[in-house]
Amino acid sequence: MDKVVWPCRGVAEHAYCPRLFYYMTVEGVFLPSSDTEKGAFVHKRVDRPSTAPGEPTKPTKTSDHPAVEKLEKGETDPDRPRSIRSLVLTSERLSITATLDLTEIDGDRAVPVEYRKGRPKHSRLSSNEPVDDMLEEPRLLPLPKPWPTDRVQLGLQVLLLEEAGYTVPEAYLYYAAEKLKLRVVVDDALRRDALAELEAAKRTAAGSRPAPLVNDPRCPRCSLQPICLPDEINHQRLTALTVDGVAAAVNADDLTPRKLWPPRDDGIHVVLQREGVKVGVRGQSVRVTDKDGQLVRDLPLANLESLALLGSVQVSTQALVVFADQQVPVAFLSAAGRLTAMMDPMGPTSAAVRAAQVRTLDRPEKALELARAVTVAKIANQRTLLMRNHADLPSRAASDMQEAVESATKAATIDELRGHEGNAAAIYFTHFAGMFKVGVEEIAKRFDANGRKRRPPPDPINSVLSFAYSMLTNECVVALRLASLEPGIGALHVTRPGRPALALDLMEPFRPLIADSVAVSAFNRGELTEGHFIHTASGCAMTDYGRKAFFGVYGRRMETEVTHPVFDYRLSYRRMLMLHARLIAAWLLGEVPTLAFLTTR
């Protein structure tokens, strides 16, 4: 069995937040942010390792920035102190490893210098204390101090250097924001604090993922906040009743989720369908060209969030490599919108979440709990959509849908639950045509006569519904992948080869909210008409212009912001999918006791 060697930077994160340490170091989950990118820029030069003594530096032709930094003239003098960048040290005894930013070595004397993008810790005098400038001596402001995480990292580096045979009299922290080189005294207290944090980190790693911090000011700037979901998990966890039936004793203000998520990602979600179109990358641009090589669209790579290719759209191997490096998922769909393949970047995936998914959903009572939650939310949303948009909905239909909600809530088996879901769907689609306004009566009548049919869709409304469900499935697969979940292992939907069962589970509450709403609004507003469809022996399908019109409506719907009924903040529907996927992951790990899916009033 391989012995685990902990990176010193990861152990230092434990001093900042044990949950962050667990995500990054134990599970290997990382999400870049503006802060992490700025930090990487500060380390850009010191991350180039120095050459070994006496080793010539080979020039490189392929890069303007060599991977190995050339020694200054005269550094070959063995008696001259040397500054070594990216010095790698490992201790088998302590089970730690580190890459030191800069180490100044003079014989057996070594001084580590660690680079930071931010500012040191500044202590402030209390402004409430009265001061008489005429009678009292002027007081000096406290000197800046290193942050606890930085002290821990330096302390571990000191231990590594000393184990390697060096004497370390002092260490330094360079804070780039203030261009300040801060001296840190190397003493027993520094070593003791570093070792204590190392032991605490090892104990944390041996257990389950720590609970998130409660209403902590560190959370808003944390790069992993969208994955950690501290406020959402604490709200679900701490407001639930304990085993004894006593409410958790916490301050209500601490449980109100802060608006940490931006409502939208503001990235670009590209869908390409024109036959013969080619996708490539040049520099920091994504170039879309036609079959004659003429430029059709030039998109900034940095803003690209996802790419979906319908039909015979080509993408270069070089572009796929860049998309994988940038963590951009690429979905390959048939002309009818069916997901056939996905280029899934090998990004950080939590094995703990995947293992918990298999273990939990293999238990019938837990699978029923998830299936019941998505089904109840779906029927409730179907009822709301009918009541909002139907011109003359019979009161009996609304009451029958409400009874289906109550029956699904009490279902004792998944088969019973599927029966209630099927009854609700029959009522819903019986009255579905009544949501279409004057002007599309003929199209609505054909749907009313056919009912809901998908293989093949016989009329325009069925065609749009099938296509919208396919696109929504693709969105759910991406959201689940980002949450480290396996889309093929579900609860309500049976797991079959090639079937994204969990994606189909996740999309259930969103079918009426997104896909059905897109169909209703597209026809009612005249954005889709009879001329956008073609009828063949294989059913009714949208033309290229029809799909273009559809994606316009679909894109607007995905960016529409809606208020979460539990957390009381607004997110776009695309972000809502991501939020719910990550809440499912938290539920599978036992971090939240219940599941709450989006329902509208």
Rounded Cα–Cα distance for residues 492 and 495 (Å): 9
Rounded Cα–Cα distance for residues 563 and 259 (Å): 11
Which 8-state DSSP code applies to residue 460?
Answer: H
pLDDT at 297 exceeding the cut of 70? yes
For residues 337-366, average pLDDT: 84
The helix (run of H) or strand (run of E) holding residue 96 is strand 96-106
Residues in the chain: 601
pLDDT at 126 exceeding the cut of 70? no
pLDDT tens digit sequence for 352-383: 899 999 999 999 999 999 999 999 999 999 99
* Predicted pLDDT at 89: 93
Hey, how many other C-beta atoms are within 10 angstroms of the C-beta on 468?
A: 23
pLDDT at 243 exceeding the cut of 70? no
Residue whose C-alpha is closest to residue 481's, from 348, 355, 593, 313: 348
pLDDT tens digit sequence for 573-597: 988 999 999 999 999 999 988 888 8
Catalogue all structural domains in the chain, each as residue range(s) with its CATH number. Answer: 6-53+78-122+142-203 (3.90.320.10), 211-260 (no CATH), 269-343 (3.100.10.20), 351-588 (1.20.120.920)
Rounded Cα–Cα distance for residues 557 and 576 (Å): 12
Amino acid (one-letter) located at 115? Y
* Predicted pLDDT at 468: 93
Q: pTM score, two decimals?
A: 0.80
For residues 162-174, average pLDDT: 93
The band of 81, judged by pLDDT with boundaries at 50, 70 and 90, is low
Query: 71-75, 179-183, 515-519: which has the highest mean pLDDT?
Result: 515-519
Rounded Cα–Cα distance for residues 142 and 444 (Å): 75
The band of 264, judged by pLDDT with boundaries at 50, 70 and 90, is low
Rounded Cα–Cα distance for residues 436 and 439 (Å): 8
* Predicted pLDDT at 56: 46
The backbone torsions φ and ψ at residue 551, rounded to the nearest 5 degrees and listed phi first, read: -65, -30
The backbone torsions φ and ψ at residue 307, rounded to the nearest 5 degrees and listed phi first, read: -140, 130
Rounded Cα–Cα distance for residues 458 and 511 (Å): 20
Q: How many CA atoms lie within 13 A of 114 on its CB side?
A: 27
The backbone torsions φ and ψ at residue 110, rounded to the nearest 5 degrees and listed phi first, read: -130, 140
Which token pair is 410? 């009490």
Report DSSP letters for 483-513, one per residue. Answer: TT--TT--SSSPP-TT--HHHHHHHTTHIII
158 CA to centre of own chain:
36
Q: Which residues pair with 172 in a beta bridge?
A: 113, 183
Which token pair is 506? 């996740």
pLDDT tens digit sequence for 205-237: 999 899 898 888 888 888 888 888 888 888 887
Amino acid (one-letter) located at 418? R
pLDDT tens digit sequence for 525-575: 999 999 999 988 888 888 889 989 999 999 899 989 888 888 888 888 988
pLDDT tens digit sequence for 29-78: 876 655 555 555 555 555 565 555 444 444 444 444 433 344 444 445 55
Of residues 430 and 69, the one with the higher pLDDT is 430
Amino acid (one-letter) located at 12? A
For residues 186-207, average pLDDT: 94
